[in-house]
Amino acid sequence: MKLENINWQAVTEAMHAQGYAVVKDVLTAKECDGLVKAYNEPEYYRKTISMERYRFGQGEYKYFAYPLPPLIQQLREQVYPQLAPIANDWMRVLKIPTAYPAEFKALQAVCREHQQTQPTVLILQYGRGGHNTLHQDLYGEFFFPFQLVVCLSEDYTGGEFVLIEQRPRAQSKAIVLRPGKGDVVIFTTNFRPVKSTTGYYRANMKHGVSEVRNGSRYALGIIFHDAK
């Protein structure tokens, strides 16, 4: 894992300007392959979800169980403190009275106070025709507004990562990203502040994955808040 490849100044600027940031080469190919391989080892997971069954799209995902694999634990703990100040800036300009703690341990304590104790980190698998309908990952009344997706594979076509931004009284804008294997997309879970002449307003954002045309696509989703 190469967290030193993340230029936090650039991420901060991208988050403020567009509500997402792409960082190249954070996980090595070997780490990606290791996570994909472990997809079939049940001891790592607490729950498997068929996306068709819930009408979330087509594909399957698994929620990791605690304790998380060290690589994922480290990623969650080390990235969170960089993102919390950005989230706090957003809450301030939007006049939302929420302040996220500086450290990940403290965020988990807040989750516990809300009875949110189940890990939300997941790994997703899509084959041909697989897709993920537009959504927001809120798992309880308490949530941290940013999350990560790490792309774990490259031998597929289609399967773009899609963000939809919806500004008040406007049609939706689509943002289509094609991160490479080991790249990370950092993005807002539910909204972002947009500056206007009178202050800041909220633009709603959702994310999903377009249809995979060929091959198979795996991704690791890191959500910082836990679920009930």
Which residues are at the interface with Fe ion (CB under 5 A)? 137
Smallest gap from Cβ 207 to ligand AKG, in A, equals 6
* Residue 145 near which of Fe ion, ligand AKG, none (CB within 5-8 Å, type-dependent): none
Interacting residue ranges for ligand AKG, rule: CB under 6 A: 124, 132, 137, 149, 161, 207, 209, 219, 221
Smallest gap from Cβ 9 to ligand AKG, in A, equals 25
Q: Check if the beta carbon of residue 219 is closer than 8 Å to that of residue 185.
A: no
Q: What is the spatial distance between Cα 3 and Cα 155, in angstroms, rounded to a whole number?
A: 24
Q: Check if the beta carbon of residue 20 is closer than 8 Å to that of residue 163.
A: yes
The structure tokens 């999903």 sit at 208
* Residue 152 near which of ligand AKG, Fe ion, none (CB within 5-8 Å, type-dependent): none
Q: Which residue is nearest to ligand AKG (CB)?
A: 221
Taking the least distance from each CB to Fe ion, the nearer of 92 and 178 is 178
* Residue 107 near which of ligand AKG, Fe ion, none (CB within 5-8 Å, type-dependent): none
Taking the least distance from each CB to Fe ion, the nearer of 39 and 201 is 39
The helix (H) or strand (E) run that includes residue 218 is strand 217-223
Q: Check if the beta carbon of residue 225 is closer than 8 Å to that of residue 121.
A: no
* Residue 186 near which of Fe ion, ligand AKG, none (CB within 5-8 Å, type-dependent): none
Q: Check if the beta carbon of residue 46 is closer than 8 Å to that of residue 118.
A: yes
SS3 call for 111? helix
Q: Which residue is nearest to Fe ion (CB)?
A: 137
Token duo for residue 213: 């045309």
